[in-house]
Structures are given as C-alpha cells and as structure tokens.
Amino acid sequence: MTAYSLGRWYRVFVFFLTAWFGVGITLVILYLVTTSESIPRRAFFVVWAVLVILGLRWYLFEYAYDLRFDNEWLYWKSPLRSGRTSLQDLRLVRARWGTDGFIESSDGRRIRVLVQKGFTRFSSRLADQCPGLQVRIGWVTRVLEWLPGSTVFRG
C-alpha cells in the first residue's frame, strides 16, 4: 500500500492547538459575559472566536493528514473524520497556494490535503494507478521537494 502521512507529530500538534484555542475561546466568552465592554471591542472578540472555530473545523474535519491507496481504494484520514474513495472516481490532484492541495473525485467532492515533501511522488504513483487522473503541481510544492530533510511519502 502506498502512503502519504504527516504522522503522529501532526496529530499531537493539532490536538494541542485545539486545546489551546479552546481554552482561549472559553476565556473570551467568560470575559464577554462578565464584563461590560464597548460594542467595537465585543464585535472584535466575537469575530475572533468565530474565525478560530472555523479554522479549527478545517484542521479537524477537512484536511487529511494520512492518504493511502491500494489497487481499488484511496483511504484518507483527518483528525476527526475518515473515508475512502474509489480510484476509478478520481479526476484531479492539485497542489496550489502554498501547501494547500486537494484530490477531487468525479462527483465533485474534494479531499483537502496539507502538502509537504513527498506529495509529488505520491501523486505520481496515484496517477500511475489511475490512468485518467490529472495532476497539477504548483511551484511551491516543487520547491518543497528540493528542500533537504525527510519525506512523508512511503511507497
């Protein structure tokens, strides 16, 4: 099975980041309930809390940190969600805007991926397995491949 995984340290990082911002959101809510502040200051705190919650949602539910495929399925995991997609249904792999990438299926659903060193090789192997798959890799991802250090690709 071919794999692309950000590993245990990514999961630990997301856990502590979630805990840290969870405490921050709780403190902001307690502050807003117990004190009398001006409307602009209250609006700032509410907007901050909403943006943090939306950002955490992306990292907990949307971004896959582990991708694996065999002859039939592509398996993916995010910290609080996982799934699988048939290799025949895959249509596009794209890495753009820095380290943001996605794998799109024919029904339009996307698996978002945090692109790191090794994603280009994983995408190439995936394209070898799925002949009609388009792979579009941006320049930032190509630069990541040249940087020294270990890769998260296993295959």
Per-residue model confidence as pLDDT tens digits over 101-145: 999 999 889 999 988 888 888 999 999 988 889 999 988 888 878
Q: How confident is the model at residue 152 (pLDDT cuts 50, 70, 90)?
A: low
Query: 59 vs 87, which has greater pLDDT?
Result: 87
pLDDT at 63 over 70: yes
pLDDT tens-digit map of 2-36: 888 888 888 888 899 999 999 999 999 898 888 88
What was the pLDDT predicted at 82? Answer: 94
Choice between 94 and 98, residue whose per-residue pLDDT is larger: 94
- Site of tokens 């630069």: 143
Cβ–Cβ < 8 Å for 67, 73:
no
User: 7: buried, middle or exposed (CB in 10 Å: 19+, 13-18, 0-12)?
Assistant: exposed
Count the neighbouring beta carbons within 10 Å of the beta carbon of residue 48. 13
Triad 74, 103, 56: Cα angle to 5°? 100
* pLDDT of 140: 83
Q: Are 6 and 13 in contact (CB under 8 A)?
A: no
Strand partners, 100: 96, 114
pLDDT, average across residues 88-111: 90
Given this model, what pLDDT does residue 12 score? Answer: 87
Please give the average per-residue pLDDT across 59-70, as a whole number. Answer: 91
